[in-house]
Amino acid sequence: MSVHALTDAQIRASLINVTQSERRNVTLPADVANTDWDRLEFYGGRDRKLALVGYVVAELDGVPTGLLLRQAESRPTSRAQCSWCADVHLPNDVLLFTAKRVGDAGRRGDTVGTLACDRFQCNENARRRPPAAYVGFDVEAARRARIAALRENVESFVRGVRNGL
Ligand SMILES: [Zn+2]
């Protein structure tokens, strides 16, 4: 698994739910060039200037497809679980993000929400070794399954927004 490496310009160009001015105002994390793409099922980063904005890019049928996400002002009330890495022992906060829908619906202000790790640390979280649940538990297989599930979760979210679901 893992995704193909993307440049700053490719990430910017991949965004499907942004206006021209939103695309111009993208300030990606400084370390895009140093990203270890072999360890990613999707790219995720927070905007360096816009405190509530983040970007996620998944590969849909080989095409990098990105979304601008906006962090909801209200925090989840209880200890929330990330919908993507589904980790129950998270070292980070989970926040509610919304993505503007593509096309007319988006222009009318329609959004889709998801709970996700605050800085999209899901790739890292899914790769941590899970605790052995019982004697003979296959930790490596469990880890691979979590990584595959993460990819599936993020791809289906991005695909849903792309397809206007
Ligand atoms: Zn996560």
Q: What is the pLDDT of residues 74-86, one digit of tens each?
A: 777 777 889 999 8
Instruction: Determine the distance separating the centroid of ligand 1 and the alpha carbon of 13, expressed in angstroms.
Output: 24
Instruction: Determine the distance separating the centroid of ligand 1 and the alpha carbon of 106, expressed in angstroms.
Output: 25
Torsion angle in degrees (nearest 10) through CA of 145, 148, 152, 153: 60
Residue 21 is predicted with a pLDDT of 95
Which amino acid is present at 90? L
Confidence (pTM): 0.93
Contact (Cβ atoms closer than 8 angstroms) between residue 72 and residue 94: no
Q: Is the residue at 66 inside a domain?
A: yes
Q: Is the residue at 139 inside a domain?
A: yes
Residues in the chain: 165
Instruction: Determine the distance separating the centroid of ligand 1 and the alpha carbon of 131, expressed in angstroms.
Output: 17
Q: For the chain, what percent of residues have pLDDT higher than 90? A: 73
Asked if pLDDT for residue 137 goes beyond 80, the answer is yes
Instruction: Determine the distance separating the centroid of ligand 1 and the alpha carbon of 95, expressed in angstroms.
Output: 10
Q: Is the residue at 61 inside a domain?
A: yes
Instruction: Determine the distance separating the centroid of ligand 1 and the alpha carbon of 7, expressed in angstroms.
Output: 23
Instruction: Determine the distance separating the centroid of ligand 1 and the alpha carbon of 88, expressed in angstroms.
Output: 10
Q: Is the residue at 48 inside a domain?
A: yes
Q: Is the residue at 143 inside a domain?
A: yes
Q: Is the residue at 83 inside a domain?
A: yes
Q: Is the residue at 2 inside a domain?
A: no
Residue 66 is predicted with a pLDDT of 98
Residue with the bigger pLDDT between 67 and 164: it is 67
SS percent in the chain: helix, strand, coil, step 5: 30, 20, 45
Residue 124 is predicted with a pLDDT of 93
Asked if pLDDT for residue 6 goes beyond 80, the answer is yes
Contact (Cβ atoms closer than 8 angstroms) between residue 38 and residue 1: no
Q: Is the residue at 108 inside a domain?
A: yes
Residue 74 is predicted with a pLDDT of 79
Average pLDDT, the chain: 92
Lowest mean pLDDT, pick from 8-12, 58-62, 90-94, 158-162? 90-94
Instruction: Determine the distance separating the centroid of ligand 1 and the alpha carbon of 121, expressed in angstroms.
Output: 6
Q: Residue 157 belongs to what domain range? A: 8-162
Measure the CA–CA gap between 29 and 45, rounded to whole angstroms.
6
For the chain, what is the domain count?
A: 1
What is the DSSP code (8-state) at residue 155?
A: H
Asked if pLDDT for residue 105 goes beyond 90, the answer is no
Element (H, E) at 147: helix 139-162
Measure the CA–CA gap between 88 and 112, rounded to whole angstroms.
23
Q: What is the 3-state secondary structure (H, E, C) of 82-144?
A: CCCCCCCCCCCCEEEEEEECCCHHHHCCCEEEEEEECCCCHHHHHHCCCCCCCCCCCHHHHHH
Residues 99-114: what's their mean pLDDT? 90
